[in-house]
Structure 1
Amino acid sequence: MTTPDLRSYRYRFTGHERILHNVEAAQVLPAMMDLFGYRRAFIVASRTINTQTSIVQDLRARLGDRCVGLTDDVGEHSPLPNIIKAAQAIKKARADVIVSVGGGSVMDMCKAIQLSISEQAFDRETMLRLQFVISDDGTEMLTTSTAPAAIRQIAIPTTLATSEWTPVSTPIDTETSLKARFVVPDGSPIAIIYDPKILAQTPTELLMSTGIRGLDHAINTACSSSPHPFATHLAEKAVQLFVENLPLLKDPANTQAFTNCQLAAWYTGMGQMSVPHGFSHWMVHIIGPYGSIPHSDAACPLMYAQAKWLKGWAADQHARMLRLLQQPTRDFHEVLGDLLERLEMPLYLEDLGLTRARVDEMIVPALQHPMVTRNNIRPIRNELELRAVLELAWRTPAAD
């Protein structure tokens, strides 16, 4: 009897226990803490949110003396020294839950903080020994941590890149400018609070770029080399919601559009850990730290290039999404290009200020990354093929 390929049957639930949608975070956070028996919350927020909005102030007012600490020392790509410093502060404050308020950098930081506290790993070397390993079939990221979770987080997302849906954290190691790679046991938030009014306070450009990052996750799920029917169904609906609603976020009064985009993030997140993702998901982990570029900005040209690279190789997958978008006669990359232009997002790597020489410097670390050249429907197996897809991400039509 032939051994079945379990990749086609695998669904990975990531451990969330409560999701609240279309609510006011400050009103529901105390009750959410009561539900899980938490008494001592430590808030981790982006500096912009903490200093330029009233979001954190409102949360602290509602929590009163149940808020035992706050840090906004996060930083782009969540530098490892900031994580260790915050973990020590949270342990000293005897917090029993972390409340993350922000986007991917904030939530990724909180996951790594959880790992640091659970493993009592308060230095760089010990943390780096906890990086994930790849499964034998090359499709899953597996934790190397054995300690039970000592603390969890409640996430209040302010962007759309879906970090709240995974236990994966990729902070930057400032000594090497490379991404550390962690899969944190119980690293996904125990609860997520989706507040569209908070989302509407996020700067429009950041909303658009993180929405593209969420869209890229959904597309990678729908176009996975080892798809799962449940994940595919959710991802295709997420693609529709993102494409139709992201342009509407330019109107902060369009509450339904913000709600729909948070639903799109939810649908994307429910399936994305169950199937392997391809090039565009992982290449941002090279371009981000090497080019000093936010993940979500890098996702724009990489998503566009991957759609071109997969033309004819993902014909059925693209066709299903195009039918949902009521554009069945177009090429999928054309629809994505139109969306990027409408959102005033970059289509090409040179739009991000990268030079060819800078992109060339990323070839070797990309080939050395454990996932960039794996799990692509159209293979990217070597330097020649990697350069070919990066050329699609680099070159404008005028340069042809």
Structure 2
Amino acid sequence: MAEVQERMNPAHSFPLIVHGLPYTTLIPRHLKESLASKNPYILISGSLARNTSTLVHLTAALHASNLFIAGVRQGMTPHTLYSEVLAVASDVRQSNADSILVVGGGSLVDAAKAIVFALANGADTMDALAELLETSNAIRTGKVKDVTQKPSVIPIMCATTTLSGGEFNPHGGATDDRTKLKQLFSDPKMEGHKVIVCDPALTLTAPMRVWLSTGLRAVDHCVETICSSAPKKEGTEAALRGLKRLIPNLLRTKADPKDERARLESQLGSMESMRPFVVYGVPVGGSHGIGHQIGPMGVPHAETTCVALPAVLKFNKRVSAERQNIVAEALWGEETARRVFEKYNLDKEKADLGDLLDAIIRELGFPRTLKTYGIGRDKLDAIAENALKDHLCQMNVIPLTEKEQVLEILEMCIGDDD
């Protein structure tokens, strides 16, 4: 085997995606060569640290390469709480770490981005962090101009164990413990993680539910960018490549969890799913915006896609049917997906894209309703109000600017799960 290197954007040195060799080889190599790091701080999944020997093997590999571990944090609460970002930032500051190494995915990936941004700007209280992230989002969306925010200095590397794709994205999200509002943010340099290590053997440690649901999150990226308010040819082509890697290989992994080739293809599909947004500036939309707000109510981050995406597609179909048909044709052309559609008795001429994705989601074993997660109609008003504050709802192909629009979508999500 040999190392393979790919760049998210061929015009930029970072993020650099590396695979083909074990994580115990690639991580020390790129900490030293790509990040010039000697003292990494490890942010690792709690279950990975407790239930596997990953941290032991990684520690040995780093020590063998004369790298000193500045500190270790095992696990974080889903949706990246401000309080935990501040706690880890304080630990990193005191440790004199010169990089952060994330081993895991999801909330850890976003946490690392928030931590280094907070450190660069001296945000060490809940109020200061809230102001920093809110201002960052206002700058990103063009609502204000500000030249006082400082870019992150400490570089980040990720050895990913999930498929959500946050490691490829310079933007992040963190949740205010006090309001449950999930706030998007990005630092001025828009860098995010600099090196992403893909080792399918490492992903075997991820719970199957997490692996498959985060894969569906990557599918969401593909679908929403193809059907977006501002699609681009290059973005559509990348998203279709992502779909063709993701859906067949997620189904293969469900059938054979130890299929490492299917897992690597899924990882590369996740990378492709982020290209439209990160490289070509194609926006995602309502599924992400609403998903950000149903998550803190009790839905695991990636599983918000399982509930929200089909409903948002049905809501949007009145203006995006032609774009949705591009995705539907691609899915019918994939044999493994077609077998699922036939199993669920879907008619190619009658089933819309929401129906097709509903079948895929069910086949992968996920619930489809808010009710399944204990969220009733009494929570819908609060979800809708928070969703309207999420810029991605405004970027939906039908801009979601009124509570009634969001409630219409949420009503499709609430029902009885069969």
Normalised TM-score (structure 2): 0.85
Change (3 A) 1:13 1:395: farther
Q: Is 2:260 the counterpart of 1:260?
A: no
Alpha-carbon separation, structure 2, partners of 1:12 and 1:278: 26
Q: What are the Cα deviations for residues 321-349 of structure 1, in whole angstroms up to 9, with x where unaligned?
A: 22222166442122111111111111122
Equivalent in the alignment of 2:345: none
Amino acid corresponding to residue 286 of structure 1 in structure 2: Q
Q: Is 2:376 the counterpart of 1:355?
A: yes
Equivalent in the alignment of 2:102: 100
C-alpha displacement of 1:377: 2.0
Amino acid corresponding to residue 236 of structure 2 in structure 1: T
Equivalent in the alignment of 1:385: 405
Equivalent in the alignment of 2:5: none
Change (3 A) 1:141 1:244: farther
Alpha-carbon separation, structure 1, partners of 2:241 and 2:163: 15
Equivalent in the alignment of 2:282: 275
Amino acid corresponding to residue 203 of structure 2 in structure 1: L
Alpha-carbon separation, structure 1, partners of 2:112 and 2:37: 17
Alpha-carbon separation, structure 2, partners of 1:168 and 1:219: 19
Does structure 1 retain, via aligned residues, the 8 Å contact 2:78–2:301? no
C-alpha displacement of 1:186: 4.5
CA-based RMSD: 2.5
- Work out which of the residue numbers 240, 243, 247 in structure 2 matches 1:239: 243
- Work out which of the residue numbers 274, 297, 300 in structure 2 matches 1:294: 300
Between the two structures, name the one with larger relative contact order (CA 8 Å, sep ≥ 6). Answer: 1
C-alpha displacement of 1:266: 0.6
Alpha-carbon separation, structure 2, partners of 1:141 and 1:301: 33
C-alpha displacement of 1:319: 2.0
Equivalent in the alignment of 2:47: 48
User: Percent identical across equivalent pairs?
Assistant: 25
Alpha-carbon separation, structure 2, partners of 1:102 and 1:161: 11
Deviates more, 1:15-24 or 1:216-225: 15-24
Change (3 A) 1:123 1:45: same
- Work out which of the residue numbers 162, 167, 174 in structure 1 matches 2:165: 162
Change (3 A) 1:117 1:383: closer
Equivalent in the alignment of 1:318: 324
Equivalent in the alignment of 1:21: 19
Alpha-carbon separation, structure 2, partners of 1:223 and 1:189: 27
Equivalent in the alignment of 1:123: 125
Alpha-carbon separation, structure 2, partners of 1:145 and 1:207: 39
Q: What are the Cα deviations for residues 52-95 of structure 1, in whole angstroms up to 9, with x where unaligned?
A: 11122211110014222111142221211211121121122211
Alpha-carbon separation, structure 1, partners of 2:374 and 2:11: 39
Change (3 A) 1:105 1:260: same
Equivalent in the alignment of 2:386: 365
Alpha-carbon separation, structure 2, partners of 1:354 and 1:397: 13
Helix, strand or coil for the counterpart of 1:313? helix
Amino acid corresponding to residue 98 of structure 1 in structure 2: I
Q: What are the Cα deviations for residues 148-176 of structure 1, in whole angstroms up to 9, with x where unaligned?
A: 33201001111111110112222221122
Structure 1 stretches lacking a partner, 5+ long: 1-10
Alpha-carbon separation, structure 1, partners of 2:191 and 2:52: 27
Alpha-carbon separation, structure 2, partners of 1:85 and 1:314: 44
Does structure 1 retain, via aligned residues, the 8 Å contact 2:310–2:353? no
Change (3 A) 1:348 1:19: same
Change (3 A) 1:143 1:39: farther
Change (3 A) 1:338 1:120: same
Q: What are the Cα deviations for residues 257-314 of structure 1, in whole angstroms up to 9, with x where unaligned?
A: 101110111101222231222110111121111x122221222110111122233422
Q: What are the Cα deviations for residues 34-59 of structure 1, in whole angstroms up to 9, with x where unaligned?
A: 21321111100121111111122211
Normalised TM-score (structure 1): 0.89
Deviates more, 1:153-162 or 1:269-278: 269-278
Alpha-carbon separation, structure 2, partners of 1:369 and 1:144: 23
Deviates more, 1:16-25 or 1:35-44: 16-25
Equivalent in the alignment of 1:8: none
Does structure 1 retain, via aligned residues, the 8 Å contact 2:213–2:303? yes
Helix, strand or coil for the counterpart of 1:232? helix
Alpha-carbon separation, structure 1, partners of 2:103 and 2:184: 22
Does structure 2 retain, via aligned residues, the 8 Å contact 1:15–1:186? no
Alpha-carbon separation, structure 2, partners of 1:256 and 1:96: 34
Helix, strand or coil for the counterpart of 1:170? strand
Equivalent in the alignment of 1:342: 363
Q: What are the Cα deviations for residues 215-259 of structure 1, in whole angstroms up to 9, with x where unaligned?
A: 111111111101222222111221222221112222222112101
Q: Is 2:218 the counterpart of 1:214?
A: yes
Helix, strand or coil for the counterpart of 1:314? helix
Alpha-carbon separation, structure 2, partners of 1:135 and 1:222: 26
Helix, strand or coil for the counterpart of 1:20? strand
Change (3 A) 1:397 1:249: closer
Helix, strand or coil for the counterpart of 2:102? strand
Equivalent in the alignment of 2:344: none
Helix, strand or coil for the counterpart of 1:258? helix
Deviates more, 1:213-222 or 1:270-279: 270-279
Equivalent in the alignment of 2:343: none
Change (3 A) 1:76 1:15: farther
Amino acid corresponding to residue 368 of structure 2 in structure 1: L
